[in-house]
Amino acid sequence: MPVFGILYAALIGLWVIWRQVLPALNVIGDVGLWTYSTEVDGMTKLMPITLTNLVMAVILAAVTFVAARNLPGVLEITVLKQLPMDAGARHAFTTLCRYAIVALGIILTFNTIGIRWSSLQWLVAALGVGLGFGLQEIVANFVSGLIVLFERPYRVGDFVTVGEVSGTVTRIRIRATTVRDLDRRELIVPNKNFITGELINWSLSDKILRIIVPVGIAYGSNTALAEELLLKVARQNPEVLSEPEPSALFLGFGDNSLNFELRVFIDDPMKRFIISHQLHRSIDDEFRRAGVVIAFPQRDVHLDEIGPLEVNIFSKPAGQATEIKASANIKRKTVPDKTTP
């Protein structure tokens, strides 16, 4: 507000200084530039466009530019922040306000220099056909931007995933949306991708997000102890919500392990990776202390030979190769998938 006060005082000072000279500027009203035809009481008349009209058009264009850049921000600071509106709604309102100011300024500027809609409608129609064919992607993104502003499937500050891009929405423009990913890269995503593609908004109506941590323990382990340790890990993490409460589920018997899942809820989608890291480390530490073995893949090898199986073992002590041969009559013998020295 102090900036506008200074500007207002400067305009009053200029008017006081130059008010005696201003009548002399009326001479520019006599300088004709061109004429345009208009209908007055059913009769077509030629109306002149003077240098005064041109100067006023330039002033209107400058005022429109300044107002479009600053007035929506002033409106948000002075009015919208006092209303029960979230950041996304305020951003959508200020964006629409900016578009309205630009449209009104263009109409007033063109009217000042005699350019009416009746003079431009055929040109606009021709340009519309050309834009429909040549700039269809830009037009599609423009329309998608309007849909985003009115429908609001995502807002500034939301964590979204569109295609292979995941990040926080930092800016919504009429053609594209800026998304900052976890590497802090600014990705410019066309608005069409949000409307026609698959969009995941992790925080549209509720920022609470569930994290699932799969854990497999070795056969023969104490399943009740494993469940108790998983819940202990969840309750000890300060980022995990107590409501909805975490759960540890014994899902089934796998090929190599007894399959568990730890399911917890957090209230910040941006932290899901670091919280998953913390949970994994805590689970590993607790299981080590309690002697619960986290399973790893194992394979059984079945050898079926009718006759003797010749096994050759090579060793190289002190740079020399020594070959040891052994014979064994092996039939349907099962050995673990381990490498013997």
The model's pLDDT over 53-83, given as tens digits with 9 standing for 90+, comes to 777 788 888 888 888 888 777 777 777 777 7
Count of Cβ atoms closer than 10 Å to residue 237 Cβ: 15
**Token duo for residue 157:** 């500050």
* Sign of torsion over alpha carbons 89, 91, 96, 98: positive
With contact defined as beta carbons under 8 Å apart, do 228 and 189 qualify?
A: no
**Token duo for residue 164:** 């292979």
DSSP state, residue 84: S
Name the class of domain 141-201.
mainly beta
* Cα separation, 178 vs 119, whole angstroms: 38
Model confidence at 337, pLDDT cuts 50, 70, 90, reads very low
Model confidence at 285, pLDDT cuts 50, 70, 90, reads very high
pLDDT score recorded for residue 143: 81
| Of 199, 206, 185, 214, nearest in space to 268 by CA | 206
* Cα separation, 113 vs 121, whole angstroms: 17
Rg (CA), the chain: 37
Same fold, 141-201 and 209-290: no
Q: Which residues contact 222 (CB under 8 A, 6 or more apart)?
A: 292
Q: Which residues contact 332 (CB under 8 A, 6 or more apart)?
A: 302, 303, 304
What's the mean pLDDT when you consider all of the chain? Answer: 76
| Of 143, 136, 108, 115, nearest in space to 49 by CA | 115
- Element containing residue 336 per DSSP (H, E): strand 331-336
Of residues 66 and 315, the one with the higher pLDDT is 66
**Token duo for residue 284:** 């590993």
The residues spanned by each domain of the chain are: 28-134, 141-201, 209-290, 300-336
28-134 is classed CATH 1.10.287:
yes
With contact defined as beta carbons under 8 Å apart, do 266 and 239 qualify?
A: yes
With contact defined as beta carbons under 8 Å apart, do 261 and 251 qualify?
A: yes
Q: Using CA atoms in the order 229, 235, 239, 243, what is the torsion angle rounded to 10 degrees?
A: 130
Architecture of domain 209-290: 2-Layer Sandwich (3.30)
Chain-centroid distance, C-alpha 290: 42
* Cα separation, 105 vs 102, whole angstroms: 5
Q: Tell me whether strands 199-201 and 247-253 are parallel, antiparallel or unpaired.
A: unpaired
C-alpha distances in Å from residue 171, one per residue of 95, 116, 286? 11, 35, 43
Model confidence at 126, pLDDT cuts 50, 70, 90, reads low
C-alpha distances in Å from residue 46, one per residue of 5, 36, 53, 253? 42, 5, 15, 91
Model confidence at 233, pLDDT cuts 50, 70, 90, reads very high
With contact defined as beta carbons under 8 Å apart, do 262 and 213 qualify?
A: yes
If you average pLDDT over residues 133-144, what whole number do you get?
74
3-state secondary structure of 206: coil
Of residues 96 and 281, the one with the higher pLDDT is 281
- Name the maximum alpha-carbon separation found in the chain: 123
If you average pLDDT over residues 92-117, what whole number do you get?
78
Report percent pLDDT > 70 for the chain. 69
* Cα separation, 308 vs 238, whole angstroms: 63
